A and B are shown apart, each in its own frame.
Chain A
Amino acid sequence: MAEPLSPLGDAWRPGSHGNFRDGTGVTLTETRPGSIVQVTAWPDTDDAVRAAIRDSVTLDLPAMPGSGVAGEALSGFGIGPGRYLLAGSTEGLETKLRAAIAPETGAVTDLSHGRAAFRIQGESAEWVLSKLFALDFAEAAFPLGHGRATQHHHDITALIQRTAPDGFDLYFFRSFARSFWHALCRACEDVGYEVR
């Protein structure tokens, strides 16, 4: 099948940018997951949904709101009451989850094309994100694996997961991706950044 096109177009400029004389503070990548899937539980099926996710794709999501698991091949985190976002490196995640989760248990929604995913990593990642979101990015407040649903300046919905001590994955509506990418790059300029 044809490789999906990046929404970034010519805004994607690999290399070092901004004030990188003393090294770059962050690295930006478009992670391009093979699958992005949302799973929604009904009010009384949250445990069943998480069990089905665990059994079908071996991702053990904790029950605590806002928590999650960040893995190499598969990550997931809560984005609302009974609602989870899963992202995997390969295609076909939706099919597996649909097979495991009947409509009586929950809803599975494929968003593989609908969301763009960026990773920001480096010692200045928390600083850069602090410019863009009114969230506390310190590790004590935003531990590894945890996720947050928020907005950039009240108009771009963003889902953010901490995937490393110094790294975050950001999920956006695809149509906003290029616009947000510009804002993200701009916010990185003072610390220097590498796009790769």
Chain B
Amino acid sequence: MTMRRASSGGRIDRTRTVRFTFDGKAYTGHAGDTLASALMAAGVSVFARSFKYHRPRGVFACGPDEPNALVTLISEGVREPNVQATLVEIFDGLDAESQNRFPSLGFDIGAVNGLAGPLISAGFYYKTFMGPVVGSIRGTRAWMLAEKAIRRAAGLGRAGHAPDPARYERVNAFCDTLVVGSGPAGLVAAESAAAAGGRVILADLDATMGGSAKWSSAMIDGRPAAEWAAGRVAALEAMPNVRLLPRTTVWGYYDGNTLAATERVSDHKSSRAKGEPRQRSWTIRAGAAVLATGAQERPIVFPGNDRPGVMLAGAALRHAGEFAVLPAGPVVIFTNNDSAYTAAAGLAEAGAEIAAIVDVRPETSDAARALADKAGGELLTGHAIVHTHGGKALSSVSVRRFTLESGTFSGETRRIEAGCLAVSGGWSPMIHLASQAGGKPAWSETLQAFLPPEPTQDWTAVGAADGTFRLADIVTGAEAPELDPAPAPCLEIASPGKAFVDFQHDVTADDVRLAHREGFASVEHLKRYTTLGMATDQGRTSNIPGMAILAAATGRTIAETGTTRFRPPFSPVSIAAIAADRHGDLRPERRTPLHDWHVERGAIMQPAGLWFRPRIYGDPGETVEQAYVREAKAVRERVGIVDVSTLGKIAVQGPDAAAFLDRVYTNMFSTLKVGRARYGLMLREDGFAYDDGTTWRLSETDFLMTTTTANAGRVMQNLEYWLDTAWPDLRVALTSVTDQWAGAAVAGPKSREVLAACVTGTGLDDDALPFMGIVHGEIAGVPVMICRLSFSGELAYEVYCGAGHGRHVWEALMEAGEPHHIVPYGLEALGTLRIEKGHVTATEIDGRTTARDLHLDWMLSGKKPFIGSALMDREALLAPDRLGLVGLVSLDGRALTAGAHIVERGDREARDSIGHVTAVCFSPALGKYVGLALIRGGKARIGSRAHLSDPLRDRFGPVEIVSHHFFDPDGSRMHG
């Protein structure tokens, strides 16, 4: 087909010329044009090559229904494939490319596939690649050989690799009424909802509101429909309670009347303002939804129905009415219903030459006949198109007399010259959103279409979306011909030749019948076997004809054949729009009050959950191992300081706080004196170890619980869960105070001297501050709380102050430590010190270990029940061959690897594992590479030898199994 621009008419701005390129060639169009309309106006007829047979294809539909004219848009180096040219608004600098062709649209060597048609019919992949062994080649092997070539030859556009620099955002909206679609029905609904005073959102996927009124020739209130619509839109725009969302596709209907939409904010612009997103994802929570989504026209399936120049009648009318793009040659109309007569008259009025109207029905209504008279040309009722002719553009059609009831032909075949064949198979209400909302669509035999289901959420469908096609039934004051909305039940003209059902996946009517012959009688199986309706358009134009053909083949009705249900999205949505502002910012970051100090000090920061913690503070030229060994050594020999602000901290307050802690910890807390701390262990309800930490009693009714950094959130949730569900009678308040406190652990033989140099207002000797004691004082004028406890095994103190004062106190501690060459230490040294002491962390409390496995059974109180006590003594949890905590010493002088398995024999064969390594380090205190491990039998193996087996990292070697207390087992240093 060749199209041309009419000299007048359309809703484009002829005063503005827009320059763009398609396949590298420069074109111009007008503001208001789509890529499809501008290219058609410039005489382009072939837009794409088809998926399988590489047949030339032109524009077939308009708006979101277009199956053929898919293009790739290139912007800022980013390729966006499979975009419908009928939806792209042109702008200066737009760069588009056709798809699935080599070397060009005009000459595509892939078209040779057309000759192999019978070989690549329905089920090609199943038959070829899942079939039996042929010679040495099995089906799946054949697939591996052929995949690359097939993927290149078949398919859609190619995505790029360049990162998208555009911004996408997400926004939440709330309204009393969401109206989807701004055609006459939507405008009427929005106006009435807005007049009632509620908040109204009116969304439409087009750039300008008005829907079908924009190209309709009907009159409303004595004015052309387009003028009427523009007036209504302006009135709505002026209302403060109405928000208009043009260029916004509402694509998902979810529970709770929540709808998802994507607004194309700047896709149509040459450049974006600062902060302006390319697309915006809307989550709309609507009190009620009005679905005014209109209807889509269906094709009739007949041989040669995919030739460029064949298009839907409504699309031809819209292109003429909205964009002033007309068929250059004579137009033949082919229809099974009255609506195409409106198209014929409208096209004629716009300046097209109507050669003939071919109607499969023997008779037509008077109103349609009047329109045919207006359109001019021959009226051939009781006829059908049996083939089309031409190369890459339609030149003529073949017509024969046709009997609707029997589907048979008679008489001679006649050729009629045509540049455009405008087809109408009737209209299907756009029930996508209604179907997504829940419920089974209802088949209407009269309309030959599915109607919206009974609502299960608060929505109503109006206008064509509800099967109401007469404008006078939608808007009062509308004048339009009284046409019969019921089409003849005829969606296929069965005649020899390739007749396409699904244009996007190149599925023919014969493919559908073949699938039926091969046993696929259900529409769901048909879809999967032939891929009918499974392309990017999700069968927009093909589902109903496909079902009609299958129904005819099986001798059933369409209603019996199956029901089409719809899932979101209504049309493709870019992943970028869904990710929106989380792109590159997948999760938030938590920073301790000392974060900037660590960074300024040159610490290598390491993620720990959402937190960032110093790994090492390396000196120039130091390796990580050298750095942590130096840091750990400083702690053992002098004094070090580490940021412990990330430890989970939970305020447990209330008259029943002590009783609550007795229930959640394995050991007793009600006996803890005010001003003292105690190490506590929690189990899960199933008796496994869960988390540990110290809890400080600040007053009779105030406790400060600390948890591991990793488990803080989960412990908090668990405690709240138990409080809310199991013990609502306990008067206990839980509050996360992790962020309230900055914490610094000062550890090492000189730690008391460091504190003594800067702490005022409290004594620090053993009497004032014994092991596990808590005192309050000041450092540099800031109140601090100090607890004498140790994770390193050295004499150590944890100093807590208000987070905002954290850096002030930390710097005062550093200054006080200067005479003792205090060293800040990171996670590696922290880990080294704890491994040397055999303290457990999350790598040992891994959800599979019990208190006994970790030698923490001394903490299991026998005097009270606690969470986990009922199930912790199950037989399997007491078995002697459970994995138990031990220490490991490397015997070959090389580092151990965390996660490695321990085996009994020293070769490289795969052996039964007797356990695994949980943590490793070089121990400066021992001068050896050591580690902690969970080994079958645990302590019983102490003193024996085994072997490290880590084939992934190629690390094998002998180890000695020792006690997990490597260093200072009697704790004399920390008590010292």
Chain B neighbourhood of A187, CB < 8 A: 169, 581
CB pair B591 A173 closer than 8 Å: no
Which residues from 144 to 196 on chain A have a C-beta closer than 8 Å to any C-beta of chain B? Answer: 152-153, 155-156, 173-176, 178-180, 182-183, 186-192
Chain B neighbourhood of A3, CB < 8 A: 804
Measured in the bound complex, the distance between the Cα atoms of B274 and A112 in whole Å is: 36
Instruction: Give the interface size class of chain A.
Output: 35 or more
Binds A, one of B27-35, B413-421, B494-502, B737-745: B737-745
Measured in the bound complex, the distance between the Cα atoms of B590 and A180 in whole Å is: 10
CB pair B588 A155 closer than 8 Å: yes
CB pair A130 B589 closer than 8 Å: no
Chain B neighbourhood of A104, CB < 8 A: 655
The number of residue pairs between A and B whose CB atoms lie closer than 8 Å in the complex comes to 151
From B285, B593, B740, contact of A7 by CB (8 A): B593
Which residues from 89 to 136 on chain A have a C-beta closer than 8 Å to any C-beta of chain B? Answer: 103-104, 106-107, 109-115, 127, 130-131, 133-136
Binds A, one of B94-102, B629-637, B728-736: B728-736
- Asked if B585 is an interface residue, CB under 8 A from chain A, the answer is yes
- Asked if B668 is an interface residue, CB under 8 A from chain A, the answer is no
- Asked if B342 is an interface residue, CB under 8 A from chain A, the answer is no
Chain B neighbourhood of A153, CB < 8 A: 582, 588
| Given known contacts A107-B653, A134-B283, A187-B169, A7 and B591 CB-to-CB distance under 8 angstroms | yes
Which residues from 427 to 484 on chain B have a C-beta closer than 8 Å to any C-beta of chain A? Answer: none
Q: Could you tell me the distance in whole angstroms from the C-beta of B399 to the nearest C-beta in chain A?
A: 57
Chain B neighbourhood of A182, CB < 8 A: 585
CB pair B731 A42 closer than 8 Å: yes
Q: Could you tell me the distance in whole angstroms from the C-beta of B394 to the nearest C-beta in chain A?
A: 47
Interface size on B, residues (CB 8 A): 55
CB pair B739 A131 closer than 8 Å: no
Contact with B along A31-68 (1 / 0, CB 8 A): 00000001010110000000000000000000000000
- Asked if B370 is an interface residue, CB under 8 A from chain A, the answer is no
CB pair A1 B781 closer than 8 Å: yes
From B169, B199, B611, contact of A175 by CB (8 A): B611
CB pair B737 A156 closer than 8 Å: no
- Asked if B802 is an interface residue, CB under 8 A from chain A, the answer is yes
CB pair A38 B588 closer than 8 Å: no
CB pair A113 B802 closer than 8 Å: yes
Measured in the bound complex, the distance between the Cα atoms of B612 and A178 in whole Å is: 13
Chain B neighbourhood of A186, CB < 8 A: 275, 581
- Asked if A4 is an interface residue, CB under 8 A from chain B, the answer is yes
Contact with B along A4-32 (1 / 0, CB 8 A): 11110110000000110000000000000
Residue from the set A141, A176, A186, A190 with the largest chain B CB neighbour count within 10 Å: A190
From B172, B582, B803, contact of A114 by CB (8 A): B803
Chain B neighbourhood of A179, CB < 8 A: 588-591
From B171, B589, B735, B739, contact of A174 by CB (8 A): B739
- Asked if B806 is an interface residue, CB under 8 A from chain A, the answer is yes
Chain A neighbourhood of B591, CB < 8 A: 7, 175, 178-179
Contact with A along B704-746 (1 / 0, CB 8 A): 0000000000000000000000001001010111111110000
Measured in the bound complex, the distance between the Cα atoms of B285 and A186 in whole Å is: 24
CB pair B737 A130 closer than 8 Å: no
Residue from the set A40, A103, A130, A134 with the largest chain B CB neighbour count within 10 Å: A103
CB pair B781 A130 closer than 8 Å: no
Measured in the bound complex, the distance between the Cα atoms of B174 and A136 in whole Å is: 6
Q: Which residue of chain B has the shortest Cβ distance to A2 in the bound complex?
A: B808
| Given known contacts A1-B782, A2-B805, A40-B653, A133 and B172 CB-to-CB distance under 8 angstroms | yes
| Given known contacts A1-B781, A113-B740, A38 and B275 CB-to-CB distance under 8 angstroms | no
| Given known contacts A175-B739, A176-B590, A113 and B173 CB-to-CB distance under 8 angstroms | no
- Asked if B151 is an interface residue, CB under 8 A from chain A, the answer is no
CB pair A103 B737 closer than 8 Å: no
Chain A neighbourhood of B611, CB < 8 A: 175
CB pair A19 B273 closer than 8 Å: yes
Chain B neighbourhood of A173, CB < 8 A: 590, 736, 738-739
Chain A neighbourhood of B276, CB < 8 A: 19, 190
**Chain B interface, >50% SS class:** mixed
Q: Could you tell me the distance in whole angstroms from the C-beta of A116 to the nearest C-beta in chain B?
A: 9
- Asked if B25 is an interface residue, CB under 8 A from chain A, the answer is no
Q: Could you tell me the distance in whole angstroms from the C-beta of B462 to the nearest C-beta in chain A?
A: 26
- Asked if B596 is an interface residue, CB under 8 A from chain A, the answer is yes
CB pair B275 A189 closer than 8 Å: yes
CB pair A4 B174 closer than 8 Å: no
Measured in the bound complex, the distance between the Cα atoms of B595 and A6 in whole Å is: 12
| Given known contacts A4-B802, A141-B174, A114 and B737 CB-to-CB distance under 8 angstroms | yes
Which residues from 144 to 179 on chain B have a C-beta closer than 8 Å to any C-beta of chain A? Answer: 169-174
CB pair B596 A9 closer than 8 Å: yes
Chain B neighbourhood of A133, CB < 8 A: 172
Q: Which residue of chain A has the shortest Cβ distance to B778 in the bound complex?
A: A1
- Asked if B654 is an interface residue, CB under 8 A from chain A, the answer is yes
Chain A neighbourhood of B587, CB < 8 A: 155
Chain A neighbourhood of B736, CB < 8 A: 114, 173
Q: Could you tell me the distance in whole angstroms from the C-beta of A173 to the nearest C-beta in chain B?
A: 5
Chain B neighbourhood of A189, CB < 8 A: 274-275
Chain A neighbourhood of B782, CB < 8 A: 1-2
Measured in the bound complex, the distance between the Cα atoms of B273 and A106 in whole Å is: 52
Chain B neighbourhood of A141, CB < 8 A: 174
CB pair B173 A42 closer than 8 Å: no
Which residues from 541 to 584 on chain B have a C-beta closer than 8 Å to any C-beta of chain A? Answer: 581-582
| Given known contacts A5-B808, A131-B171, A175-B590, A109 and B735 CB-to-CB distance under 8 angstroms | yes
Q: Which residue of chain B has the shortest Cβ distance to A178 in the bound complex?
A: B591
Measured in the bound complex, the distance between the Cα atoms of B737 and A1 in whole Å is: 22
Chain A neighbourhood of B808, CB < 8 A: 2, 5
CB pair B592 A111 closer than 8 Å: no
Q: Could you tell me the distance in whole angstroms from the C-beta of B587 to the nearest C-beta in chain A?
A: 6
Q: Could you tell me the distance in whole angstroms from the C-beta of B803 to the nearest C-beta in chain A?
A: 4
| Given known contacts A103-B701, A134-B172, A176-B590, A18 and B741 CB-to-CB distance under 8 angstroms | no
Q: Could you tell me the distance in whole angstroms from the C-beta of A27 to the nearest C-beta in chain B?
A: 16
Q: Which residue of chain A has the shortest Cβ distance to B174 in the bound complex?
A: A136
CB pair B589 A135 closer than 8 Å: no
CB pair B275 A18 closer than 8 Å: yes
CB pair A103 B653 closer than 8 Å: yes
What are 11 contact pairs spanning A and B, CB under 8 A?
Answer: A2-B781, A4-B803, A103-B654, A103-B700, A111-B735, A114-B736, A153-B582, A173-B738, A186-B581, A187-B169, A188-B275
- For the complex with contacts A19-B273, A131-B171, 9 further pairs of A-B residues with Cβ separation under 8 Å are A103-B653, A103-B700, A103-B701, A109-B735, A111-B735, A112-B802, A138-B199, A175-B739, A189-B275
